[in-house]
Amino acid sequence: MRAICLHTQRDITSHPLQSTDLPLPQVIDNTVLVKISACGICHTDLHIIEGELPLKRSPLVPGHQIVGVVEKIGKGVKSVKPGHRVGTPWLSSTCGHCAFCKEGKENLCDNARFTGYHVNGGYAEFVVVPEDSAYPLPDVFLDAAAAPLLCAGVIGYRALRLSEMKPGKRLGLYGFGASAHIAIQIARHQGCEVSVFTRSKHHQDLAGELGAAWTGTAEENPPEKMNSSVVFAPAGKLLHSALRHLEKGGTVALAGIHMSPIPELEYKYLYEERAIRSVAHSTREDVRELLNVAAEIPVRTEVELFPLADANRALQKLKRSEIRGSGVLVI
């Protein structure tokens, strides 16, 4: 099968991803072979490719926002059948018996394995995934539109919950890429007033189209302070701005898997019971809930499509914040 592989971590501008012919992956018990139609690109892919996260295998097929059709099932698979359309997210598998798994915190499992990181992902024509990581997709979404929901959407949904966002309150979003453009639709659906902080004019324009009450840069002051905020951009300095714009008793959720160093922080910005939460991965229940909520709204994902062979170029555009909404590779 055709796949895009990473052999050596280096800057995306040097075109580190290479087109490769790999053997067709084989199903084993409780796994599913998926013929891929679309795979979203993500900042986490960039963090892996450029070495900000350690490489777990080489060669690696990146990609963890996978949409496709079940081609074959292994022994013991009951929830899906050949011909079913499914999506596969970042979380691939967990141990199921550690303290975190038993407490419903499987996203914190020490033995968790992630799609496109520990196991090969979706920058390819086929992938084998555990049955538990093959989620039936709502019919309301076309393949390319569904792909961003599987990480950008899920992480945004979890980050909103951890920010303690409440209907009728003010929410701040820092950075307005794939996750934030989905999160704003969920927040607006739940009755929140949303302010968006981003340097990009075309991202500000999209935020306005999706219902933002105010848009500006992180250096500007919104009309009122936020009750909750989510920082999506992987820039540690944005935490200062988020806390400066945060009301007493508010919470800032940091949604990235990687972030640049956070500069020294004066206590006065954290005082008055302001809280900081990090967001680590997501649970299977997060995925199921997000897909249901997204279909109910329904969420409109903005996507820019790229052929699989253009993965390097797509990720370069992502790094330069030149993609409106989400980038999706079409296989």
**What does the DSSP 8-state code read for residue 222?**
P
- Tens of pLDDT, residues 275-319: 999 999 999 999 999 999 999 999 999 999 999 999 999 999 999
- Tens of pLDDT, residues 192-203: 999 999 998 989
Q: How far apart are the first and last CA of the chain?
A: 11
Please list, in sequence order, all residues whose beta carbon lies within 8 angstroms of the beta carbon of residue 253, skipping any fewer than 6 positions away: 159, 160, 162, 163, 228, 229, 230, 231, 277, 278, 279
By the 10 Å C-beta count (0-12 exposed, 13-18 middle, 19+ buried), 32 is classed as: buried
Query: Hey, what are 189's tokens?
Result: 């659906």
Q: What domains, with CATH codes, occur in the chain?
A: 2-150+301-330 (3.90.180.10), 153-278 (3.40.50.720)
pLDDT in the model for residue 186: 98
Average pLDDT, the chain: 96
- Tens of pLDDT, residues 240-287: 999 999 999 999 999 999 999 999 999 999 999 999 999 999 999 999
Strand partners, 150: none
Query: Hey, what are 131's tokens?
Result: 């049955």
- State the pairing for strand pair 31-40/326-330: antiparallel
- State the pairing for strand pair 170-174/214-216: unpaired
pLDDT bracket for residue 21 (50, 70, 90): very high
Cα–Cα distance between 289 and 84 in angstroms, integer? 20
Q: Provide the whole-model pTM.
A: 0.92
Cα–Cα distance between 305 and 163 in angstroms, integer? 31
